[in-house]
Structure 1
Amino acid sequence: MLMKKLILSMLVLGASAGAASAQVEIGLKLSPSITYLRTDSPSALDFQSEKSKLSLGGGLVVDYFFGQNYAFSTGLWLAGKGGTITYLDLDPNSVSTVPSIRREQKIGLQYLEVPVTVKLFTNDVATDVKLYFQLGGTAGGVIATRINDEKRYKDPSNGNAETESSKHVIIPDVSALVGAGAEYQLGQSTKIFAGISYHRGLVNIDKYFDKDRGFQDVTLKNNEIALDLGIKF
């Protein structure tokens, strides 16, 4: 019993010491980005990523330091994603079963994301300037979708059948994240930072081509390269 009490006391003291030494920094960031969709499909359908998309995102940044140069970084971000794809489709005016018409879709997506990452900081590389490296991932859900800038899509190769753009993609998405940047101590508790990050989608977000068109083995995944500009208080 005495040993249990001793161990419990040590755990409480350890937790108290950790809480006392822990530091939380909260800030805001703005992230203009270039996004595009990685595609994969059977050669007969020939899905291609044609154009990237300029997007704007940002949100809350929370860095919880568990060491002088190490922080668990999370927050709540609004992120724009998507891009333009093309693919081969059946000609509705032909009896041929070989896809021969190239279609184009401009897909615009908006996500609400929660990052789960670790930031590693260097010591000062110049007066009040540190470099940081970020590694982890994000998990989120789509909150808005547009196909060809419209909330509804009429498929010319499917009898102009109309579908809601939001039904074209699944809701959840998960991405790997890697980034780097610099942070400048502006005042006693104010810091500004600038960096670049790469977000690689890990989930096939397509639902339309598989469910509504019956296309097999079509994969669409998000990709994003972002410039991260922010301030922490």
Structure 2
Amino acid sequence: MKKVLLSLLLSGATLGVASAQVEIGLKVSPSVTHLRAGSLENGLQNEKSKLGIGGGIIVDYFFGENYAFGTGLELTGKGGTISYFDPALNRREQQKIGLQYLQVPVTVKLFTNDIATDTKLYFQLGGSLNAAIAGRISGEKYYTDPATQEKTKAAKHVIIPDVGLRAGFGVERQLGKSTRVLVGLSYHRGLLNIDNYFEDERDFKEVELKNSEFALDLGMKF
């Protein structure tokens, strides 16, 4: 009896490995990003979006014919222009913040059956684990505050970790036996307050600074 059960378990595992399919590719993602900003005082707010560019590795692990776990590794730019009232200067100031993130998506991708020859729609929903690896303010690695004249490293103005939600959809077309191209749109919404400057260094009250991104995803899987 034990031998029969062992045989069944081994057979099931073998079938699972055999039916699993991993598709790997590359993508580039031009994007429009902004910072969702607010504060109890000082009128911290978003002023302008910025254009960004990202890209990386796509990894789709299929656990069904039309269902996949979507992950990979991405390098992307985020940020935007914010403004606030500086009581020390009695005027509004602006900061143009540019951030660079490494991201690991943790998503589920759902594919339709063919809507045309070798062409499917896909829908993606999940999140991502993100880490800020570089930052600039007004194009500079260091920022001199006009009110205090203190110089700080721009990358230190935000905390390193961020967690995001993402949702997207697109079209994937098969060009050959294992080659596919995809075009999609996605929205990335940061969940963590990334501010590491206004509350700690300037004593602003209840500051909120969060990432948002709309991206055009262009990719190829091999």
* TM-score, with structure 1 as normaliser: 0.92
Secondary structure at 1:74 match in 2: strand
After superposition, what is the alpha-carbon deviation per residue over 1:163-187, rounded to whole angstroms, capped at 9, x for unaligned?
Answer: 0111100001111000000000111
List aligned pairs for 1:191-210, cutoff 5 A. Answer: 191-210=180-199
List aligned pairs for 1:1-233, cutoff 5 A. Answer: 2=1, 6-42=4-40, 44-92=41-89, 100-158=90-148, 160-233=149-222
Q: Aligned partners of 1:7 and 1:135: how far apart in 2?
A: 38
Amino acid at match of 1:133: F
Secondary structure at 1:14 match in 2: helix
TM-superposed CA distance for 1:162, in Å, is 0.5
In structure 2, list runs of 5 or more residues that go unmatched.
Answer: none
Amino acid at match of 1:101: R
Q: Aligned partners of 2:6 and 2:43: how far apart in 1?
A: 63
Q: Aligned partners of 2:209 and 2:4: how far apart in 1?
A: 56
TM-superposed CA distance for 1:12, in Å, is 2.8
TM-superposed CA distance for 1:81, in Å, is 0.3
TM-superposed CA distance for 1:66, in Å, is 0.5
RMSD: 1.2
Amino acid at match of 1:134: Q
After superposition, what is the alpha-carbon deviation per residue over 1:72-128, rounded to whole angstroms, capped at 9, x for unaligned?
Answer: 010000011000000111134xxxxxxx41010000000011000010000000111
Q: Aligned partners of 2:97 and 2:155: how far apart in 1?
A: 10
TM-superposed CA distance for 1:8, in Å, is 4.5
In structure 1, list runs of 5 or more residues that go unmatched.
Answer: 93-99
After superposition, what is the alpha-carbon deviation per residue over 1:15-60, rounded to whole angstroms, capped at 9, x for unaligned?
Answer: 2111100111100000000000001211x31111000010000000
Q: Aligned partners of 2:76 and 2:85: how far apart in 1?
A: 30
Q: Aligned partners of 2:5 and 2:125: how far apart in 1?
A: 34
Q: Aligned partners of 1:38 and 1:131: how far apart in 2?
A: 31
Q: Aligned partners of 1:47 and 1:119: how far apart in 2?
A: 37
Q: Aligned partners of 1:11 and 1:70: how far apart in 2?
A: 24
After superposition, what is the alpha-carbon deviation per residue over 1:175-201, rounded to whole angstroms, capped at 9, x for unaligned?
Answer: 100000000011111000000000000
